[in-house]
Homo-oligomer: A and B are copies of this chain.
Amino acid sequence: MDWNDHVNSRSFISRPVAQTSFAFLYNYKDDHYVYPTGLIGMDMKQNEYENNNQDKKKRLTSEQLEALETTFQEEKKLDPDTKMKLANDLGLQPRQIAVWFQNRRARWKNKQLECLYDTLKQEFDVVCMEKQKLQEEVLALRTILKQRVNKRQGAGSSTRYTYMSGEETIESASAANTTNNHPHQLTLGQHQGAVASTTAMADRMINYDPGSSVSAPYSKWAVLPSYEP
């Protein structure tokens, strides 16, 4: 009862419904309403005082977004005071501010996840390479040891026990590593390439064939296993 004083804060929020509900009034067939050019980036405030007639706009202006974004950067959570201040400054309902922050948080989470994935992917690649090198190194060392043993055996020397013990522990340590036995390293598919950007995620998740945009437009959806709950 402290804030949202004058109006009921929910009174006008609702998007200007007319445009979509009566979209059939427009000449355009399905969902291809042609936007009045020059209305996109404009700095037209859409507060409660001017959404009465036909402002078919809902998107926040760049100013509003900027302010919201800045605020979000420093505080993911929105305390009531900030909310009211933003609402007053930007000519929006407090409720809108709250909703914006909620959505922002939810979507920020997904972004985070993507970044996390990319990071992990890079780490993974690095570790794989290092493992590869270590594997080669082990082979090299083994070869050397073998050569040496052969040489010594030819000379009639016998520190053979020590050698075998070493070989044994070695075998047990890398028994499962001698071959490429990572079922997902390549089979998980698509994610062995260079990590381009966050949007490259989609290309890895979806069986996207970048070449054929003509044939089989539905193919990319048919392949993946269903991970649904």
Contacts and interface: CB of A to CB of B under 8 A. Distances in A.
A85 interface: no
A40 interface: no
A183 B17 CA distance: 51
A151 B152 CA distance: 12
B76 A221 contact: yes
A54 interface: no
A45 interface: no
Chain A interface size band reads 35 or more
Stoichiometry (number of copies): 2
A11 interface: yes
A121 B123 contact: no
A137 B173 contact: yes
Interface string A168-202: 01100110110000101100100100000000011
Contact of A229 (B111, B119, B147, B184): B111
A1 B185 CA distance: 48
A124 B120 contact: yes
Contacts of A12: 24
A130 B170 contact: no
A56 B211 CA distance: 47
A228 B117 contact: no
A30 B17 contact: no
B127 A182 contact: yes
Contacts of A131: 127, 130-131, 134
Contacts of A217: 77
Contact of A113 (B114, B162, B176, B226): B114
Contacts of A50: none
A196 to B, nearest CB: 15
Given A113-B205, A127-B131, A133-B173, 19 more contacts: A8-B29, A9-B31, A10-B23, A12-B24, A14-B23, A76-B218, A113-B117, A113-B201, A117-B117, A123-B185, A127-B185, A130-B177, A133-B177, A134-B138, A136-B173, A137-B170, A138-B141, A141-B141, A141-B145
